């Protein structure tokens, strides 16, 4: 073995490879000056890649770089802005001033709305469920609005659109002690000749121009009646009240009566939703009232003393839209502004049943389509929305369905319970106890149309159950408007029921007493005194 045996291979152990054509080709390539391996690799390489492949690879690289860049920015934001000493945390964090100002009211609203979660299934997350519900409600409102607009555009024939016209101010006004103005309208005889004074607060979407629509001045003169109507705060030409309530409404009525020179007691007249102001007058200023006349009087539909059957019969007469408006007025009154701006505050006229979501019978529907009624109602509605302010209407709707501050049961005439104890027993021995009554002592007359779907007869049945002393006049086949609007005979029946036989203004009293009555007058007045009133 030689000294090179460890470094050189043993050629004798490896047989030589046979000579092939490839070896010959390699020899030829070497002779030509080329490298055989390079040429082989170039010959075996695949075809060149297309432009589309390069673009795809480039976009994938850009996307990967963008993701990494976003993650890097997120880490930077977390480290520099989301720590305890950063600007964002100090200004908008949980313990910051802004969070306390915003989070407090939001937390109160969240607690108030927590009762709604009781209507969800127990296995549903409120956050997830209400997000879905609100999204579906938003889509439903959008589709409904688009459908209504589309229906209005394809309706044939298209009715003439009448724009609201606001006339110049023309009302008489008085100033209340707090500086507010109240606009009013006076009809009938003057204050010094009035045998009876009647004050009528108006209903929703109405004004001082309403009163008894179509009432003739000759009838007021015949009975010696002075009729006073006024705009509620924020309606017509009356100034708004900063803190309206039914008690403040009764106080305004009392101050108004004194300011316009009402002598003695007066009658209060309430129609539809305006009757809640008449109920308030019976509760808070009963000593100034001679009596009350109600026409389809409305009560709080959520009154807790209303039985389930009475509530079912009442709500069953109303349309779904009206029920929804009552729900909004009770739970979410601020949402009413959206609907009010889209109908009676839109600057365009429409029928009263559409504006107020009313369900009307045949006779009521025929009446509102009469040109005389339509002209009167449009003029009244224009005066009501003169100020263009939605707040008074929201306040009026909210007061109707909220706690009135009193119950109708307090107006019931009943004996005052004697106090117990030794002192009261000694008083009863010394002097004969006198019966004392509480509640409203004057007469209450209620006229109710039996075909009324705006204020169903079940409401009057409820009132009569609570105040059995009220005289209820049920009117077959009459609706919500037909007995009150433009009916001369109806107005005469009302005045005869309230005031008895017509005696004219006060200045004619002496002359009538000195003159001997005719034979026909003697027969008509036989058995009737001036204080008697009709009951039908």
d(CA 144, CA 141): 5
Q: Is the pLDDT of residue 484 over 90?
A: yes
Instruction: Classify 305 as helix, strand or coil.
Output: coil
Identify the DSSP state of 232.
Answer: P
Could you report the per-residue pLDDT of 371-405, keeping only the tens digit for each? Answer: 898 899 999 999 999 999 999 999 999 999 999 99
- Residue range 312-340: mean pLDDT, rounded: 92
Can you give the pLDDT at residue 298? 95
d(CA 262, CA 228): 10
Range in 125-129, 274-278, 322-326 with the lowest mean pLDDT = 125-129
Can you give the pLDDT at residue 28? 44
Cis peptide before 467 (omega within 30 of 0): no
Q: Tell me the pLDDT band of 42, cut-offs 50, 70 and 90.
A: very low
Is 278:292 a contact under the CB 8 Å cutoff? yes
* Partners of residue 199 on adjacent β-strands: 228, 268
- Residue range 326-348: mean pLDDT, rounded: 91
**Token code pair at residue 65:** 């770089």
Q: Is the pLDDT of residue 443 over 80?
A: yes
Range in 113-127, 150-164, 207-221, 501-515 with the lowest mean pLDDT = 150-164
- Residue range 87-94: mean pLDDT, rounded: 62
- Residue range 37-49: mean pLDDT, rounded: 48
d(CA 289, CA 60): 88
Could you report the per-residue pLDDT of 185-238, keeping only the tens digit for each? Answer: 999 999 999 999 999 999 999 999 999 999 999 999 999 999 999 999 999 999
- Residue range 51-79: mean pLDDT, rounded: 78
Range in 51-55, 97-101, 304-308 with the lowest mean pLDDT = 97-101
- Residue range 22-36: mean pLDDT, rounded: 50
- Which contiguous run of DSSP H or E holds residue 331? helix 320-331
- Residue bearing tokens 């006060």: 506
Using a cut of 0.85, tell me whether the model's pTM lies above it.
no
Q: Is the pLDDT of residue 107 over 70?
A: no
Can you give the pLDDT at residue 9? 45
Q: Tell me the pLDDT band of 440, cut-offs 50, 70 and 90.
A: very high
- Residue bearing tokens 């002592």: 441
d(CA 253, CA 248): 9
Q: Is the pLDDT of residue 366 over 60?
A: yes
Distances (CA, A) of 169 to 200, 233, 236, 344, 349: 21, 16, 9, 20, 20
Can you give the pLDDT at residue 233? 97
Distances (CA, A) of 153 to 150, 338, 350, 506: 5, 21, 15, 59
- Which contiguous run of DSSP H or E holds residue 225? strand 225-230
């Amino acid at each position: 073995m030689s000294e090179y045996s460890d470094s050189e291979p043993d050629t004798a152990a490896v047989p030589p490879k046979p000579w092939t054509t490839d070896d010959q080709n390699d020899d030829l390539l070497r002779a030509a000056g080329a490298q055989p391996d390079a040429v082989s690799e170039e010959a075996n390489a695949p075809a060149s890649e297309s432009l589309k492949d390069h673009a795809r690879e480039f976009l994938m690289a850009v996307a990967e770089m963008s993701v990494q860049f976003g993650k890097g920015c997120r880490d930077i934001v977390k480290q520099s802005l989301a720590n305890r000493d950063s600007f964002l945390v100090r200004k908008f964090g949980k313990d910051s001033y802004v969070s306390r100002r915003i989070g407090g009211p939001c937390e109160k609203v969240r607690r108030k709305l927590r009762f709604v979660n009781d209507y969800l299934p127990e296995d549903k997350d409120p956050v997830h469920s209400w997000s879905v519900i609100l999204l579906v409600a938003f889509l439903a409102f959008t589709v409904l609005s688009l459908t209504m607009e589309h229906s209005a555009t394809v309706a044939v024939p298209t009715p003439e659109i009448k724009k609201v016209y606001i006339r110049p101010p023309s009302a008489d006004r008085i100033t209340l002690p707090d500086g507010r103005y109240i606009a009013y309208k006076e009809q009938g005889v003057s204050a010094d000749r009035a045998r009876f004074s009647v004050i009528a607060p108006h209903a929703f979407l109405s004004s001082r121009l309403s009163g008894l629509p179509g009432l003739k001045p000759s009838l007021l003169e015949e009975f010696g009646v002075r009729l006073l109507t006024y705009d509620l705060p924020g309606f017509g030409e009356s100034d708004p009240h900063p803190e309206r309530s039914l008690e403040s409404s009764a106080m305004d009525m009392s101050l108004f009566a004194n300011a316009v020179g009402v002598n003695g007691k007066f009658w209060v007249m309430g129609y539809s939703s305006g009757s809640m102001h008449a109920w308030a007058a019976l509760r808070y200023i009963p000593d100034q009232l001679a009596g009350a006349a109600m026409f389809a009087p409305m009560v709080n539909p959520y009154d807790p003393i209303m039985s389930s059957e009475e509530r079912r019969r009442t709500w069953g007469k109303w349309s779904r839209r009206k029920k929804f408006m009552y729900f909004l007025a009770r739970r979410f009154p601020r949402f009413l502004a959206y609907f009010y701006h889209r109908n009676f505050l839109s600057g365009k006229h429409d029928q009263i049943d559409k504006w107020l979501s009313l369900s009307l019978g045949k006779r009521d529907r025929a009446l509102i389509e009469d040109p005389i009624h339509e002209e009167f109602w449009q003029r009244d509605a224009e005066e009501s929305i003169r100020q263009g302010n939605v707040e008074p209407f929201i306040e009026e709707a909210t007061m109707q369905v909220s706690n009135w501050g009193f119950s109708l049961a307090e107006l019931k005439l009943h004996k005052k319970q004697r106090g117990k104890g030794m002192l009261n027993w000694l008083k009863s021995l010394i002097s004969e106890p006198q019966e004392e009554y509480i509640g409203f002592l004057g007469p209450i007359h209620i006229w109710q149309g039996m075909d009324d779907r705006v204020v169903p007869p079940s409401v009057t049945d409820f009132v009569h159950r609570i105040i059995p002393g009220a005289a209820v006049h049920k009117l077959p086949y009459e609706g919500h408007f037909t007995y009150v609007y433009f009916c001369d005979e109806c107005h005469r029946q009302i005045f005869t029921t309230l005031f008895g036989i017509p005696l004219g203004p006060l200045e004619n009293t002496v002359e009538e007493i000195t003159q001997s009555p005719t034979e026909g007058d003697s027969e008509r007045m036989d058995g009737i005194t001036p204080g008697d009133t009709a009951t039908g």
